[in-house]
Structure 1
Amino acid sequence: MNIQQRTTFVKKRAKELGFLNCGISKAEFLEEEAPRFEAWLKKGFHGELGYMENHFDKRLDPTKLVPGAKSVISFSFNYYTENQQPEDSYKISKYAYGKDYHFVVKDKLFQLFNELQDEIGEINGRVFVDSAPVLDRAWAKRSGLGWVGKNSNILAKGTGSFFFLAEIISDVEFEYDSPFKTDHCGSCTACIDACPTQAIEAPRTVNASKCISYATIELKNEIPAHFQDRMEDWMFGCDICQDVCPWNRFSKPHQEREFEPHPAIQSFKKKEWEELSQEMFNEIFRKSAVKRTKYTGLMRNMKFIKP
């Protein structure tokens, strides 16, 4: 396979495997992002996410993750759903309705990587699904998948932002896509205005320590008083800044069977969630990303919302 054939093969198979989009960029040091990321850390916007301070060089240089890396293949995978929870319910972010995306998306990436090896021979590379020091949004933008919105999510015309990002970093050359340079947010501040905790401190700058998703998922200690009466019934994650984004009116329901919600998510109201047992938690969220917060974390979140 020549470079063009390899590129065509990867993008065609990505579509066939259910990926929303696929773009490729040259594996090189993220010179533009380095000072921004360093400043974000120095301001303490990562809160108690201590791991964000680790492997600083690896986050900025893909050749430190895959020796001899030449390409970063970026993928987006749709998780938007029209399934809804009852109005009188504690809320769960849409991305966690079904099976944990780490497993679903990673399985597809491994399949694509193995097929690529079958086509062109032994290659060196790794797949990443939000599980290693990779600046996903920087690579998505460089690969032409979209622009960084004011809520710091990647936005794409025609699809919005309800999608996961993932990568294959390899030592194989491909045809590289042009970086996405146009910002289509314009003067809109819907996400900034809607955030109940003022976590978006400036366009494209989110203070994670003020984010409801951080408080309900990542934070292992007591939830700070800053969040009192501002949770808006979110017990796992938060979709507010995405729900209000005008570009998400173009979002279309995903076609991934593994992302279909457990019946309890569509039927349980607050009373049922408050009476949730450890056993029921294990059954409902057996393969779900909600397991990240554990039973004790979910109960803590509900008690904080309703003291």
Structure 2
Amino acid sequence: MVYDRLKEAFDIVGCIDADRYLKKKFDANLIGYESIFVVGLGYPNVYLKQEKDKLLASMYTYGYDYHDVIKTLMHESLKDLDIEYKVLVDNHTISERKCLEMTGLAFHGKNNLMINKDLGSYFFIGLVLTKEKFPEVIEENTLSCGECDICIKACPVGALTDGFDWDKCMSGYNQEKRSLTDYEIEKNMYLLGCDICQRVCPFNKGVQSDHVEAFRAKPTAYVIIQDLFDLTNKEFMAKYGKHAYTWRGKTILLRNALTLLLRQKNPKYNEDIKKTLNDPKYPEWYKKDASNILEKLDKFEI
């Protein structure tokens, strides 16, 4: 019943008993729930390039925010069933990856991403918890990274050298509201997140899933640089707020945009940067990075 409904909407659906997960790790969110349905929904394997006047975050943000899309699909799939359930996407304490791994429908890759035989790592995960117990849906996983270490060699910041180091990961530090080191500024390549370990993964070669219209690249996948300076937070969210890259706020995106301007050796926005340094609404961690980057950008000519 629940499985069939979810299978109509999602690419991946598995189910495990809540007790199976609780034997690994206790979680208060599971009290009173009997079954955990794990769903996966693919997004397009499309890579766009940074431009001089507009910039990009990670590929998963090209379409609309997966949190909203997946939750809506879950509720639409189950709304007329007489069951008690809860939907969870990302912002909770249960390990979605561990639940998915327990279904056998994907394995934990060396790039710290879950990899499915059909979708590679280009899919989003969500959970449906039910008060009623349903049959488990589990497959035997026979896939692994084996001896492949392409992603480890490709990581520009050494985050995969010995397991996975979130503190070194580009996607980790470019989401932090703190001043960056010169090394981190030099290495950053995105407004938010990082795609390098996905793009080089052999399991992602030839993968394409573009059947979900909401996940197809939108014009606002690109953030216009001037908007980061000129729009208020409210105006910015009105224009770009349907994308997941906005979750850490506009100031993070602006700081990361400055690192990309430095990578491009693009001093076009130096006067705009100077104005932010005198604006009390910007935090000290931003001003420290902006001042550091501006000093370097001043050496280049427009």
> Normalization by structure 1: what TM-score?
0.75
CA distance in 2, matches of 1:235, 1:26: 39
Aligned to 1:24: 15
Paired residue secondary structure (2:205): helix
Could you state the TM-score of these two structures normalised by the residue count of structure 2? 0.77
CA contact (8 A) 1:223 1:304 kept: no
Greater RCO (CA < 8 Å, at least 6 residues apart)? 1
Partner residue, 1:236: 192
Q: Measure how far apart 1:257 and its partner are.
A: 1.9
1:251 to 207, 229, 236: 207
Structure-2 change in CA distance of 1:32 and 1:65 (3 Å): closer
Give CA-to-partner distance per residue, 1:196-215, whole Å, 9 cap, x none.
1111243xx32111111122
The residue number in structure 1 matching 2:252 is 297
Task: Sort the Cα spacing of 1:70 and 1:228 in 2 relative to 1 into closer, same or farther, 3 A.
Answer: same
- Aligned-partner Cα distance in 2 for 1:201–1:181: 25
Distance 1:230 1:208 in 2: 15
C-alpha distance in structure 2 between counterparts of 1:127 and 1:265, whole Å? 27
Corresponding residue for residue 65 of structure 1: 29
In 1: Cα distance, 2:23 partner to 2:258 partner = 43
Residues 144 and 283 of structure 1: is their aligned pair in 2 closer, same or farther, counting only changes over 3 Å?
same
Taking the aligned partners of 1:300 and 1:175, their CA distance within structure 2 comes to 49
Corresponding residue to 2:86 among 94, 107, 126: 126
Q: Distance in 2 between matches of 1:239 and 1:91?
A: 11
Residue 191 of structure 2: SS of its match in structure 1? strand
**Displacement of 1:254:** 2.1
CA positional deviation for 1:195: 0.8
Equivalent residue pairs, number: 258
Separation in structure 2 between the aligned mates of residue 134 and residue 178 of structure 1, nearest angstrom: 19
Give the percent of matched residue pairs that are identical in Structure 1 and Structure 2: 27
Distance 1:70 1:239, change over 3 A: same
1:104 maps onto 2:62 in alignment: no
Q: What CA distance in whole angstroms lies between the structure 2 residues aligned with 1:71 and 1:275?
A: 45
CA contact (8 A) 1:278 1:295 kept: no
Q: What is the deviation of 1:144?
A: 2.1
Q: Over alpha carbons, which structure has the higher Rg? A: 2
Change (3 A) 1:156 1:260: closer
Could you tell me which residue of structure 2 aligns to residue 278 of structure 1?
Answer: 231
**Residue in 2 that maps onto 1:48:** none
Which stretch shifts more, 254-263 or 275-284? Answer: 275-284
Match in the other structure for 2:121:
161
Q: Deviations over 1:17-64 (max 9, x none)?
A: 2x111001111264785xxxxxxxxxxxxxxxxxxxxxxxxxx335x2
Q: Could you tell me which residue of structure 1 aligns to residue 46 of structure 2? A: 82
CA root-mean-square deviation: 2.4
Deviation string 1:40-94 (CA, Å, 9 cap, x unpaired) is xxxxxxxxxxxxxxxxxxxx335x2132322111000111243624566643111
Partners in 2 of 1:84 and 1:159 — Cα distance?
19
Shift of 1:252: 1.2
Tell me if 1:175 matches 2:125. no
Letter of the 2:231 partner, please give it: Q
- List runs of 5+ in structure 2 lacking aligned partners: 263-292, 294-302
Structure 1 residues 201-220: aligned runs within 5 Å: 201-202=161-162, 205-217=163-175, 219-220=176-177
For 2:125 and 2:250, the matched residues in 1 are separated by: 27
